[in-house]
Chains A and B, each alone.
Chain A
Amino acid sequence: MTTTASTAPARTSAPVRQNKKKTPVSRYFTHAFLAVIAFVWAFPVLWAVVNAFRDYQYTSVNGYVSWGGFTLKNFTDAWEQANFSQHFMNSVIITVPAVILTLFLASGVAFVISRFSWRFNIVMLGLFTAANLLPQQSLLIPLYRMAIAVPLPEWMSDSELLYDSYWMLILVNVAFQTGFCAFVLSNYMKTLPRELYEAAMVDGASIWRQYWQLTLPLCRPPLAALATLEVTWIYNEFFWATVLMRTGDKFPVTSALNALKGQFFTDLNLLAAGSIIVAIPTLVIFFALQKQFVAGLTLGANKG
C-alpha cells in the first residue's frame, strides 16, 4: 500500500499506512485476484463482442474456441432480420417522454415535500416506498384488464385501446419511477439554503417561479444522474412491454428480444451481434456517463 501513497486520497492518513505493513507479496496477490475477477466478470460480454464479429461458416467449421473469420456481416444481418430500426424507434418513443414526464412530476412533488412539511408527507413517503417495492406481476391482472377496457381514439393508438399502445407503457413507467425520483430529488432539495426562498418570496416570486426558475436549475446534478439512470431502466424495461403490447412491430428493443429468440438461438454469431446492438445504448451510457449512472444508483441509498 505504501507505493500508492501518491495516488491515495487524503482520507488514508499516515497512521493507517504505518500500521499496515503490507508485504509486496500480498499486494501482488490482491492485484492478481482482482485481475482474475475483473476478467471473469467481463468475459461473457467480451465473448459476445468477439463472436459477433466472426463468420458463422468459419466458427461452425473451426469451433468457437478458435481465432479468425472476422466479418461485420452479422451486424448487418441482425439489424435487418430483427427490424432493429423500428424497435429502436419504439424504444425512443417510449423512453424519452417517460423520462421527461417522470422527472417533471417527481421534481414537482419533491419540491412540495421539501418546502412544506406536512404530516401528510410521511404518508406519501410510505406510500411511494411501498409502491416502489411491490412486484409488478402482482399488479398485472387489474392493469391488463384496465388496458383492455379503456378505449383510445384512433389517432392516439391504432389498437384503439390503451392496450397495445405506447401511451400505456409511458404511463406505467412514469407511475412506477416517479416515487423513486421524487425522494432522491426531495432529499437534494432539502439541502438548498432556505435563504434563497426567503429572498424569492420577498421579491414576490410565485411558487411556480420558485420551482421552475430557482429550484430546478440548482438541481441539475441529481436531475442528470436520475435522467441517466431512468433512461437505462426504461430502455431495459421488459415486463410491461411484454404483457401490455401485442403487435410485433410496436415492441421496444428489450421486449422484442423475446420474438427474436427463435431466429437468433440457432445462429450464435447472429445472437452475439444482436445482443451487442441491443446493449450499445446502455454501454454508451455506461462509458460516457458512468459518473452520473453510479451517482443515480447510490443517491437513493446514501445520504444525499
Chain B
Amino acid sequence: MTVGGSDLPVVNPATVAKAPAGGSHKGAPRGGRVRRLTGNDRIVVFAMVIVPLFLTMVFVVLPAIASVVLSFASWDGIGGVSNIKWIGFENYKNIATNYPPFWPAIRHNVLWLVVLFFIATPLGMFFAVILDKNIRFSRFYQTPIYLPVVLSLALIGFIWQLQYSRDFGLINAILQFLGLQEPDEAIDWFGDPNIAIWAALAASAWRHAGYIMLLYLAGLKGVDPSLREAASVDGANEVKTFFSIVFPVLRPINIIVVVITVIESLRAFDLVWIINKGRNGLELISALVTSNVTGEASRIGFGSALATIMLAISLIFITIYLATIFKEEEQ
C-alpha cells in the first residue's frame, strides 16, 4: 500500500466521487459556497487544499515529469545541470539492445503479474468465499491467512530464508529426510538463478492471497443476501450462484483487486532487494532503476529511461482504471 509502505493503498473513487454528485446525499450545499466565505475562512480553506496539493506536486507530479525529461539525457550526476547532454532516444535504444538485465527483468515482472493474478488472487478469493459461509471458527481460520499482510516484504524475505536456506533451511531438511535429495545436492532456493524467482514468488503470493482474501471478505459482507437466496431457490448450485450472481455484484472490489495486483507486480521491490539487490535471476525493473541511481556509477539518464518505462506502463493501467471509474460514475 502503500505507497509509503510496500502496500498499495487504493481508494475507490467511484464511491468517493458519487457522494458529492448525488443530490440526495446529506453533504454540504454545493456550488459557489466558497465564494461566500469571508477573510479568515477563505485562508483556512485555501491552506487546507494547497499544502497537500503542494506536497503531491513536489514529491510526485514534478518528479514524474522530470524522470521523463531526464530519460533523454546523458548525465553522470557530477557537475551541474549544464553538464547534461541531450541524446534523444539513445538511452531507450541502449536499454533494449545493449543492457542484458533488461529483458529478464521484463520477463520477471510479467511472471510476477501472472502468478499473483492467476494463482494468488483466485486463491485469496476462494478463501474469502469459503470463510464467508458462516463457518464456525471462521475468525480463527482467517487470522493466520491475513497475518502476513502486516509484515513488510523485506521482513518476509528474512522469515522465508528460514525455509529456503541451503544448509539450514527446512525445505531441504525435509527433502533430505524423505530421501528426495542428497545433502551435497542441497538447493539454495534464493541463490539459484533458475529457482530464485519462484522462491520469491511463493513468499510474495503467500502475502498477496491474504490481502485479497481480506478485501473480498469485506466485499462479500456487503452482498445483499436476498440475491443469493433467490438464486438458491431457483436451484442454482453454489458455484453457479457465485459466478453469475455474486461475482458481478462485487465489481467495485474486482476492479480494485485488479489494480492492486497489477501495480503491486509492477513495483515489486522490497523482497528481491533484501534477497540479493535484484540480481542473479531476480532482476526486476524497479531494482534496475534503483541500482542505476544508487550504485557506484550513477547513470541518471539511463536510469530515468528505465523509470520512464515503468511510469508509462503504470500510467496505462492508471488511465484505464480512472476512465472506467469516471465513466461508471457518469452513468
> What is the interface residue range for chain B against chain A?
35 or more
Q: Which of A68-76, A152-160, A173-181, A217-225 contacts B (4 or more CB under 8 A)?
A: A173-181
Identify A130's interface contact among B148, B238, B318, CB under 8 A. Answer: B318
| Contact A271–B162 (Cβ < 8 Å) | yes
Pick the residue among B15, B142, B321 that contacts A302 (CB under 8 A). B15
Complex CA distance for A194 and B307, rounded to whole angstroms: 45
B12 near A300 with CB under 8 A, answer yes
Complex contact B218–A298 (CB within 8 A):
yes
Q: A48 near B: Cβ within 8 Å?
A: yes
Which of B53-61, B93-101, B193-201 has 4 or more CB atoms under 8 Å from chain A?
B53-61
Q: Confirm or deny: A7 has a beta carbon within 8 angstroms of a beta carbon on chain B.
A: yes
> How distant is B299 from chain A, measured CB to nearest CB, in Å?
10
Contacts of A132 in B (CB 8 A): 3, 9-11
Residues from chain A with Cβ under 8 Å of B269 in the complex: 136-137, 238-239
B177-190 toward A: CB 8 Å interface, digit per residue (1/0)? 10000000000000
Contact partner of A48 among B3, B159, B326, CB < 8 A? Answer: B159
Chain A residues with CB below 8 A from B270, complex form:
238-239
Q: Which B residues between 114 and 136 are near A, CB-CB below 8 angstroms? A: 127, 130-131, 133-136
A64 on interface, CB distance cutoff 8 Å: yes
Contact A302 B219 (CB under 8 A): yes
In the complex the two chains form, is B158's CB within 8 Å of A275's CB? yes
Separation of A302 and B250 alpha carbons in the complex (Å): 10
Q: Is B74 an interface residue (CB 8 A)?
A: no
Contact A272 B44 (CB under 8 A): no
CB atoms of B52 and A182 under 8 A apart: yes
Complex alpha-carbon distance, A11 and B233, angstroms: 16
Of A42, A177, A236, which one neighbours B9 at CB under 8 angstroms?
A: A177
How many residues of A are counted as interface, with CB atoms below 8 angstroms from the partner's CB atoms? 136
On chain B, the residues within 8 Å of A144 by CB distance are 293-294
Closest to A19 in B: B232
A38 lies within 8 A of chain B by Cβ: yes
Q: Does B29 contact A (CB under 8 A)?
A: yes
| Cβ contacts under 8 Å, A111 to chain B | 48
Please, how many angstroms separate the alpha-carbon atoms of A178 and B58 in the complex? Answer: 13
Give the distance in Å from the alpha carbon of A144 to the alpha carbon of B290 in the complex. Answer: 10
- The listed residue (A64, A139, A265) touching B64 by CB distance below 8 A is A139
Contact A16 B232 (CB under 8 A): yes
Q: Closest residue of chain B to A194, judged by CB?
A: B26
Residue in A30, A59, A126, A239 whose Cβ sees the most chain B Cβ within 10 Å: A239
In the complex, which residue of chain A has the Cβ closest to the Cβ of B211? Answer: A297
Are A184 and B44 touching (Cβ within 8 A)?
no
Contact, CB under 8 Å: B52 / A106: yes
A45 at the interface (CB under 8 A from B): yes
Q: Do A136 and B170 touch across chains, with their CB atoms under 8 A apart?
A: no
Partner of B147, one of A7, A51, A191, A286: A286
Return chain B residues, CB-CB under 8 Å to A286. Answer: 147, 150
Given the complex, which residues of B lie within 8 Å of A182, measured CB to CB? 52
Of the candidates B40, B53, B64, B141, the one whose C-beta lies within 8 Å of that of A34 is B141
B91 contacts partner chain A, Cβ-Cβ < 8 Å = no
Inter-chain CA distance A142–B77, complex, in Å, is 11
Residues 15 to 71 of chain B near chain A (Cβ within 8 Å)? 15-17, 19-21, 25-31, 33-34, 37, 40-41, 44-45, 47-49, 51-53, 55-56, 58-64, 66-67, 70
Q: For A242, list chain B residues within 8 Å (CB).
A: 273, 290
Q: Would you call B60 and A131 a contact (CB within 8 A)?
A: yes
Q: How far is the CA of A174 from the CA of B56 in the complex (A)?
A: 9
Inter-chain contact A30/B130, CB cutoff 8 Å: yes
Q: How far is the CA of A243 from the CA of B293 in the complex (A)?
A: 9
Residues in chain A near residue B27, CB distance under 8 A: 114-115, 117, 190, 194
Q: Which residues of A contact B293 (CB under 8 A)?
A: 140-141, 144, 243
For B136, give the chain A residue with the smallest CB separation. Answer: A4
- B245 at interface, CB cutoff 8 A: no
Residues of chain B touching chain A, judged by Cβ–Cβ distance below 8 Å, are 1-13, 15-17, 19-21, 25-31, 33-34, 37, 40-41, 44-45, 47-49, 51-53, 55-56, 58-64, 66-67, 70, 77, 127, 130-131, 133-137, 140-155, 157-163, 165, 168-170, 173-174, 177, 206, 210-211, 214-215, 218-219, 222, 225, 228-229, 232-233, 238, 252-253, 256, 259, 263, 266-267, 269-270, 273-274, 285-286, 289-290, 293-294, 300, 303-304, 307-308, 310-311, 314-315, 317-318, 321-322, 326
Given contacts A240-B4, A304-B16, 14 further A-B contacts (CB under 8 A): A1-B134, A12-B134, A16-B229, A146-B63, A179-B52, A206-B41, A207-B44, A233-B5, A234-B5, A236-B154, A255-B154, A285-B150, A297-B215, A301-B219
A-B contact pairs, 6 of them (CB 8 A): A42-B144, A135-B267, A140-B289, A141-B293, A146-B63, A194-B27
